[in-house]
Structure formats: C-alpha cells, structure tokens
Structure 1
C-alpha cells in the first residue's frame, strides 16, 4: 500500500486545489466584462476534479522513487483527456483572463509545464517547484499593484 501522506498529497493536489480553485479564483479576480469566457474553465475544472476524486476514492495511490524525484500516481482512465481538462482549467483560465498580468501568470506555468515535462524525463528534482515560485512572485506583484478599494465602496 501507499502511505497516508502520499494519499493526502494526491487528494489535495489532484482534485481539490488546482482544477477547481484556480479557475474560480481567476473568475473572481477578473474584471466583470471578461468573466463570461471563464465559465468554461470553471466547468471543466469541476468535471476534472470529479473524475480525479472518484479515482482517488476507488483506486490506490502509488508513490515511487524515480531517480532524484518521487513519482505519484493514480490509475486514471482516459488520462490524456483528464490531463487536457486539468491544464485547460488551470492554465486556460489564466490565459483567457482579461488582465495582462493574469495572462502572464498563465504563460509562465504553461512554459513551466512544457519544460518540466522534458526535464522530468531526465529526473531533475523540483523543476515544477521552481516554476511555481516564479508564478508566486507574479501573483505577489499582481496583488501589490491592484488599487485598494476606496472607502466609499466599503
């Protein structure tokens, strides 16, 4: 079997956080005039999360050492389709956002996903974490540049 820690990681990382909260967060952060096009990634994220949650509930989580990395896995049917939904929900929501900084935030992890896919085959450790830290710095810059609400709208 697999440890409880690996199962907890998979439950949080796969269905709970990214495919649902990223598109919902982008929807809430987007300007009102651009929100309509973001409902697609939200719907795809919810469907993807449902498939992943079902797989986590009915299949074992595996974790294995692969060179200098740990590979986590869950037997997911139609994996190319689920992965496409996952990427559309998480990266697509950012790339479809009307705000230039949100689109940049989507482009950095998209480039990171491509680079990590190539580097993962070579078993480089923590490549995704490096791109996530760049994306986090972009979020920090985006949040700091937003104007605070005026006291009249509180």
Structure 2
C-alpha cells in the first residue's frame, strides 16, 4: 500500500489490472464508472509511487494525486453507484450524490488556490493543504463515498462499503496525520471485491417483427 514506492507500484499495478478486467466485463454503459473504480484507484497508487521516488514535495504528481483523492472520488463513487443502481434504489442515493457535490466543490477550489505538499513520514506519506472547515468536509466526503456504497442495496457494493468504513476508522485511529494517504491505499485494495460483482446483461436492442 503506502509503505514504500515499490509497494505502491506493485499494489497499484495489480489493482489497475483487476480494474481492466472489471471494465472488460461490462455489458451496460451505465455500469462503466463503477467498474472502472479499481482502475482509477490503481492508477492513484502508481502516481503515489512517483511521489515516493521524488521525496514528496509539491510537484505535478502530488497535485494529480490530490485531485483524485479529494474532489474526484467523492463525485465518482456516488455517481457511479447511482448509475449502476436499480431504479428503486436511486432516490436514496441522491443524498450521497448531493454530499459529494457539496464536498468536491470546496476541495477543488482549495486545490486551485492553495499548494498541496507531500511529506515522507517514516513508512507513510502525509499530504498537507490548508482546508477550512475540515470536519464537515470529511463528514461529507465519507457520506458521499462510504454512504453511497452502503445505501446501494447491492451485496458486493455493501461489502465494499463496510470494508471502507472499517478502514476509515482504523486509518483515523492509527495514522491521523496520514489519514488520506492510508485510507486511499486501503480503499484501493478493498476495491478488488468489485471483481465479484456479476455484470448485468446488455439491453436487448433487437428488431421486433412488425
């Protein structure tokens, strides 16, 4: 996971490969964003391996990592779940989607106006950015990501939500200053459970006899 450049590179490559398999199995376009989640998170870990090798700092890799971790994921996850969800489950998912939008907008603004710095802290990486009102942003972030998975009414997605919630609690307790890095790594590894999600058949677009 986030313990070294090599660990990030190996884990990221393996998770991204699983993401490619998930994407290749998709039969409905609306399942694509969710199926691509391991691919995105795997690429995220590969980017972090480059941050390790550069010794941290404020370079392009750090910014790219922060863009994925902060504004992109709280939008990607609830919208991906909403797209893939059955009609009867979509109304309850509007709350995580709204939380994702409300969280992503100020996070994107902060990244656009303030520097983000990565710092090597032993066997973890810490990311520092001046975030106003960090507590409600964290709450909104977790509601958007973990909440969407738990409210999906999908067995595999629910399992991923439970794992992500447990991982958030563990990472917050053990690595408070490195929470974002460690939790993103944990979530990336957990995302491989999406391989167990059976793809829905493509819609029938055959011609009818007149």
Fold match, TM over 0.5?
yes
1:44 has 2:99 as partner:
yes
Q: What secondary structure, in the 3-state scheme, does the structure 1 residue paired with 2:111 have? A: helix
Over the residues paired in the alignment, what is the CA RMSD in angstroms? 2.1
Q: Is the 8 A contact 1:45 1:89 kept in 2?
A: yes
Taking a change above 3 Å as real, the CA distance of residues 48 and 130 of structure 1, as seen in their structure-2 partners, is closer
How far, CA to CA, are the matches of 1:146 and 1:70 in structure 2?
A: 36
Give the 4+ runs in structure 1 shifted more than 4 A: none
Q: Quick check: 1:146 aligned with 2:202?
A: no
Aligned to 1:12: 68
For structure 1, list consecutive stretches of 5 or more residues without a partner in the other structure: none
**TM-superposition CA deviations, 1:42-94 (whole Å, max 9, x none):** 11101110010011111111211212111012111000000000000000001
Partner residue of 1:119 out of 174, 186, 206: 174
Which residue number corresponds to residue 106 of structure 1? 161
Checking the alignment, whether the CA contact within 8 Å between 1:7 and 1:61 is kept in structure 2 is yes
Partner of 1:2: 58
**Counterpart Cα distance in 1 of 2:182 and 2:113:** 30
Measured in 2, the distance between the counterparts of 1:48 and 1:84 equals 9
What TM-score do the two structures reach when normalised by structure 1?
0.85
Q: How does 1:43-122 map to 2 (within 5 A)?
A: 43-121=98-176
Q: Distance in 1 between matches of 2:144 and 2:104?
A: 10
Partners in 2 of 1:111 and 1:61 — Cα distance? 27
Structure 2: distance between partners of 1:113 and 1:61: 22
Number of equivalences: 147
Per-residue displacement from partner, 1:14-68 (whole Å, max 9, x unpaired)? Answer: 112x100100000011111010010111111011100100111111112112121
Residues 98 and 116 of structure 1, relative CA distance in 2, 3 Å threshold = same
